[in-house]
């Protein structure tokens, strides 16, 4: 199923739209076409500050528009520079709850010229929703997104 989305992602990235619109379109596509992706959003480093700022997303509104480095799953990825798959968010001490319905989360860093400039964050209302296939797919998306940043 995820492989079928490679072509639409490439179409979005190569479209004439501005970058923010492309990112929003990617978020909407993922939320609509991948059943276990209930919230999809990009976070980016907020200038030179040690914090992330919410970018385009698809899903329920969130209060978490600024996340300090090290806080929550997203903040931890900003520090570790590694994918973080959380099968059960309730088992994480450093988890920031966005919704009582979220059961699992995956965050994949977005690199530009070797620097972690942001991340793709996905919440699922299904426990243990994410596999290695999701990781590889989201890495592919971030590699394509990096080309337009």
pTM: 0.95
**What local confidence, expressed as pLDDT, does residue 126 receive?**
97
Give every CB contact of residue 50 below 8 A, 6+ residues apart in sequence.
68, 69
Query: For 109, phi and psi rounded to 5 degrees?
Result: -65, 150
**What local confidence, expressed as pLDDT, does residue 96 receive?**
72
**What local confidence, expressed as pLDDT, does residue 100 receive?**
79
What's the mean pLDDT in 101-117? 96
**What local confidence, expressed as pLDDT, does residue 50 receive?**
97
For every residue of 98-111, DSSP letters joined together read S-TT--EEEEEEEE
Whole-Å CA distances, 106 to 16, 82, 129: 29, 11, 9
Summarize pLDDT for 54-107 with one digit per residue, the tens.
Answer: 999 999 999 899 999 999 999 999 999 999 999 998 888 777 766 778 999 999
Q: Is the model's pLDDT at 119 over the cut of 90?
A: yes
Which CATH number characterizes residue 42's domain? 3.30.450.40
Summarize pLDDT for 18-65 with one digit per residue, the tens.
Answer: 999 999 999 999 999 999 999 999 999 999 999 999 999 999 999 899
Number of domains in the chain: 1
- Confidence band, pLDDT 50/70/90 cuts, at residue 6: very high
**What local confidence, expressed as pLDDT, does residue 97 receive?**
66
For every residue of 71-140, DSSP letters joined together read SHHHHHHHHH-S-EEES-GGG-TT---S-TT--EEEEEEEEETTEEEEEEEEEESSTT---HHHHHHHHH
Domain with 99 in it: 3-146
- Confidence band, pLDDT 50/70/90 cuts, at residue 142: very high
């Amino acid at each position: 199923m995820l492989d079928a989305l490679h072509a639409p992602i490439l179409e979005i990235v190569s479209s004439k739209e501005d970058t923010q619109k492309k990112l929003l379109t990617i978020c909407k596509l993922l939320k609509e076409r991948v059943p276990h992706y209930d919230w999809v959003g990009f976070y980016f480093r907020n200038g030179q500050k040690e914090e992330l700022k919410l970018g385009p997303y698809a899903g329920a509104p969130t209060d978490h528009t600024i996340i300090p480095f090290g806080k929550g799953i997203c903040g931890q990825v900003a520090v570790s520079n590694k994918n973080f798959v959380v099968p059960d968010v309730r088992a994480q001490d450093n988890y920031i709850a966005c919704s009582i319905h979220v059961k699992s989360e995956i965050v994949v860093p977005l690199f530009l010229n070797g620097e972690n400039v942001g991340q793709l964050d996905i919440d699922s209302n299904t426990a243990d929703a994410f596999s290695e296939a999701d990781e590889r797919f989201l890495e592919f998306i971030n590699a394509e997104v990096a080309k337009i940043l």
